[in-house]
Structure 1
Amino acid sequence: MSNDLNSSGDNQLLGQDDADEPQLAQTPQDAPSVLPSVSAIVSRLRFKQVALLTALDEQGSLHKAAEVMHMTQPAATKALHEMESALGVTLFDRSPRGIEATELGRCVIRYARLIQSDISNLRDELQGMLTGQGGRLSIGTIMGAAPMVTRALTRLREVQPEVSIEITEDTSARQLLLLDQGRIDLMVGRSSVSSQPQLYNYEMLRGEPMCIVTGLDHPLATAQKVRLQELMSSSWILYSSNMPMRIWIEHEFKLEGLKVPGNVIETASPFVTVTLLAQSNMVAVMPLDIAHFFAAKQMLCILPVHLKTRIEHYGIVTRKNATLSSIGKMFINILRQQN
């Protein structure tokens, strides 16, 4: 017997050919603008239906999604009909490439992933409590906040040695995507890069002083004073466009009456940046705390360039209405004490 969502009424569907293309629910033109109540939705939806949504999004095919879910294709078709009926909207459209989520479908899929992630975190935390392993915490951080985050994690491990911790370092924009998907519990970065910053709780921590760095063999590595104009003949390593550090350095160029260098290498990776600096006479922008770490290891040189402005502060970012575990709350308190 297949592991279907709802065995009742499946007999009519099981007689269909799995190769038949499913006819997905269509939203009538006169569909009501008011959605069903929360209690009505909760009473009709099931966890396995939620899992089917993400499988459909990942597989792009009802047939493949049914295989992943260990269901027959007719049963998957019926489950999708039930979800669309429960929500009162069309979630997927047919296309020559298979099925594709509608705009409303993409919204529902995003929340489906959050629900699955929360269930997974619930299971992990309960398992940790039962086995005395202290639970699990997943954290995102921008590069400039990494020293602060790692110091806080060291302190957390001292008081909770059994906790399992996952750290992701990336840009604020990418970390917010992970936060939206429930793949991280919290992040240390900036919510302002989002087009909808109101979706998040933000608690400011500190500023992020920036500096200009280069390799030890750069002609100006030992200079006592360097003007930004003197570096315009060098090749630059910069963050991608529209990122806070890129916007900041472009503003610095503008204040000095300089054009943004052309033919730059764009990366957010400190390892790639340091490796490039060691192999060339390039220059780069880097958070001062990170630069001090590499400079102490004699892996780069901080150039004495006077910078006129500061980059935006970073802070603790969490999803609104999300409930943090006790470990997450403890970590945030440690961050506050360090600030």
Structure 2
Amino acid sequence: MTPPLNSIISRLHLKQLRLLIALGDHGSLLKAAQQVALTQPGASKALQEIETTFGTPLFNRTNRGLEPNEAGRCVIRYARLIHTDLSHMREEIVGIMRGQGGRVAVGVIMGAVPLLTDAITSLIARNPEISVEIVEDTSATLLSQIDEGRLDLAICRTTISQTPQHYETTRLQEETLAVVANVQHPLRRAKKVRLPDVAEYRWVVYRANMPMRLLLEREFREADLRFPMHLLETTSAFATLALLQSNPSFVALVSIDVAQFFASHEMTCILPLHLASRSEPYELVTRKGAQLSPGARQLIEELNAKHGGEA
């Protein structure tokens, strides 16, 4: 039986939360003990006390080390949230004492990077002492980092989540897609390009089951074309750009914002290929019930001012 809340509060210490986080990171009692400046016997005793506090084992002991069970993963996730909240509290206090400043951690999917950077430029002009952490990744990874308290907010999509009700979302803008290629691509001067024209080129794409990839597969299916077999899969804007610049025949599907950014700096060209399918809109996502820092609120204000978000 799980002990009552008052019992957990009175027995649980911050150093124990740090130990839980370290165990989640390393899966090794020795490495976790070293990280939090405990001896291995001290760490072992602390873990026993933590499991007694919660009234259940939190880890499976294996020959590979300590693996968190379902309850352990839950406790580690909340330990990270508490640690992050304390870190944000300190940064907010510093900002209050200085009159401004603070910190915000924001995630973004590749297609929305230009949208985010515009808002951050305005935010820094408004609050020059603010620190901003930017994480570019897939929607699934960004949502998991919101769950763990590693991110204050993200521009991504909650449709890929099995628990979308855990998030507050605001619709930012529709995503329009474009096909880009090396500036020396054979089709760079074409007036109009159809999907069969680029079907045999090597494509740089998101990995399977991601929204942009599914859209491209649908385009090929509806055009009665076989989807390319030999793909280059990445979620990185920089990797996409580097691949396109390394080979004049490669093509890639990206958001129109990314395509225009690349093209404006003459790094790639946009092929005149019309796609019938529509992509899902970008969402501004926060954890439901989370207390947002002043820096996070300021960034949200900038995003909504520029892109007219709708709940």
Give the structure-2-normalised TM-score: 0.93
Q: 1:311 corresponds to which residue?
A: 279
Are positions 1:330 and 2:298 aligned together?
Answer: yes
Q: 1:52 corresponds to which residue?
A: 19
Are positions 1:83 and 2:50 aligned together?
Answer: yes
Secondary structure (helix, strand or coil) at the match of 1:52 reads: helix
Deviations along 1:227-273, one digit per CA (max 9) or x if unpaired, are 10111111111111111111111111111111210110001222222
Deviations along 1:50-104, one digit per CA (max 9) or x if unpaired, are 1111122233232332233222333322322222122122101211122221121
Contact map agreement 1:211 1:303 (CA 8 A) in 2: yes
Return the offset for 1:327: 2.1
Structure 2: which amino acid aligns with 1:312? E
**1:1-339 superposed matches below 5 A:** 32=1, 35-280=2-247, 281-339=249-307
Q: Which runs of 5+ in 1 are unaligned?
A: 1-31
Query: Distance between the aligned counterparts of 1:214 and 1:59, measured in 2?
Result: 42
Contact map agreement 1:132 1:162 (CA 8 A) in 2: no
Query: Distance between the aligned counterparts of 1:227 and 1:205, measured in 2?
Result: 30
Secondary structure (helix, strand or coil) at the match of 1:251 reads: helix
Contact map agreement 2:169 2:286 (CA 8 A) in 1: yes
Contact map agreement 2:88 2:293 (CA 8 A) in 1: no
Deviations along 1:187-246, one digit per CA (max 9) or x if unpaired, are 111122222222211111111100111112222111111110111111111111111111
Query: Distance between the aligned counterparts of 1:59 and 1:227, measured in 2?
Result: 50
Query: Distance between the aligned counterparts of 1:313 and 1:124, measured in 2?
Result: 33
Contact map agreement 1:92 1:102 (CA 8 A) in 2: yes
RMSD: 1.6
Contact map agreement 2:115 2:257 (CA 8 A) in 1: no
Return the offset for 1:282: 1.0
Contact map agreement 1:57 1:109 (CA 8 A) in 2: yes
Deviations along 1:144-170, one digit per CA (max 9) or x if unpaired, are 212221111121122212211122222
What count of residue pairs does the alignment treat as equivalent?
A: 306
Query: Distance between the aligned counterparts of 1:133 and 1:268, measured in 2?
Result: 35
Give the structure-1-normalised TM-score: 0.86
Secondary structure (helix, strand or coil) at the match of 1:213 reads: strand
* Structure 1 pair 336–64 and aligned structure 2 pair: CA distance change class (3 A): closer
**More off after superposition, 286-295 vs 36-45:** 36-45
**More off after superposition, 268-277 vs 213-222:** 268-277
**More off after superposition, 123-132 vs 266-275:** 123-132
Structure 1: which amino acid aligns with 2:117? T
Return the offset for 1:133: 4.9
Q: Which runs of 5+ in 2 are unaligned?
A: none
Secondary structure (helix, strand or coil) at the match of 1:285 reads: strand
Query: Distance between the aligned counterparts of 2:151 and 2:205, measured in 1?
Result: 26
Return the offset for 1:132: 4.1
Structure 2: which amino acid aligns with 1:306? H
Query: Distance between the aligned counterparts of 1:134 and 1:71, measured in 2?
Result: 34
Secondary structure (helix, strand or coil) at the match of 2:289 reads: coil
Return the offset for 1:308: 0.8
* Structure 1 pair 49–291 and aligned structure 2 pair: CA distance change class (3 A): same
Query: Distance between the aligned counterparts of 1:63 and 1:300, measured in 2?
Result: 50
Query: Distance between the aligned counterparts of 1:261 and 1:136, measured in 2?
Result: 43
Return the offset for 1:118: 1.4
Structure 2: which amino acid aligns with 1:238? V
Structure 2: which amino acid aligns with 1:337? A
* Structure 1 pair 73–215 and aligned structure 2 pair: CA distance change class (3 A): closer
Contact map agreement 2:154 2:285 (CA 8 A) in 1: yes
Contact map agreement 2:104 2:131 (CA 8 A) in 1: yes
Structure 1: which amino acid aligns with 2:39? T
If you compute each CA radius of gyration, which structure gives the higher value, 1 or 2?
Answer: 1
Q: 1:5 corresponds to which residue?
A: none
| Structure ranking higher on relative contact order (CA contacts 8 Å, 6+ apart) | 2
